[in-house]
Amino acid sequence: MHLAELNIGKFKYPTTDTRMAGFMANLDRVNALAERSEGFVWRLKGDNNNATDLRVGDDYAVNMSVWTDAKSLENYVFKTAHAQFYKRKAEWFDLMEKPHMVFWPVPESHQPTLTEAMDRLADYEKNGATEHAFGWAEVMDVERMRSLRCA
């Protein structure tokens, strides 16, 4: 099984606003870094090679990808240039008061749909972390969880 992730956010400003320039000017670079990263499998793209033109719910921006394992995703997010932009997310996105990120296992050949991903996010919000949908805490500790299940 691979690991799928969905992350949604509400842009603070239109993507053409100069206050979004630091985010928009680096999208291609950060997406290319993801695609070159160990463990990367697939990412959702719109017509402009990123997902900024795709929206869900009440006009939320979408990031969705699939990785071979949690460690690869964790390395990309926190140990590459992506981390610089992750730390600056408050400049470009409104603070979310409910879960906005979810992870779930997918078969190796599966590319999740937005509908599937939003269903997982709704499940996570309603039921908390389960094997069906879970958050960062469970992803970052997945190896420990696997060892406990095997023991």
Q: Which residue has the higher pLDDT, 139 or 99?
A: 99
Residues whose CB falls within 8 Å of the CB of residue 96, separated by 6 or more in sequence, listed in order: 8, 9, 10
Please give the pLDDT value at position 149. Answer: 52
Please give the pLDDT value at position 151. Answer: 44
What's the whole-model pTM score? 0.87
Specify the 3-state DSSP secondary structure of 101: strand
The fraction of the chain above a pLDDT of 90, given in percent, is 70
pLDDT in tens, 112-144: 999 999 999 999 999 999 999 999 888 876 555
pLDDT in tens, 23-43: 999 999 999 999 999 999 999
CATH class of 2-150: alpha beta
Please give the pLDDT value at position 51. Answer: 80
pLDDT above 50 (res 77): yes
Domain ranges of the chain: 2-150
Average pLDDT over residues 52-60: 78
Please provide the average confidence, as pLDDT, over all residues in the chain: 89
Average pLDDT over residues 2-18: 94
Of the candidates 56, 62, 60, which has an alpha carbon nearest to the alpha carbon of residue 43?
62
Residue 31 CA: distances (Å) to CA of 15, 59, 126, 146: 17, 21, 31, 29
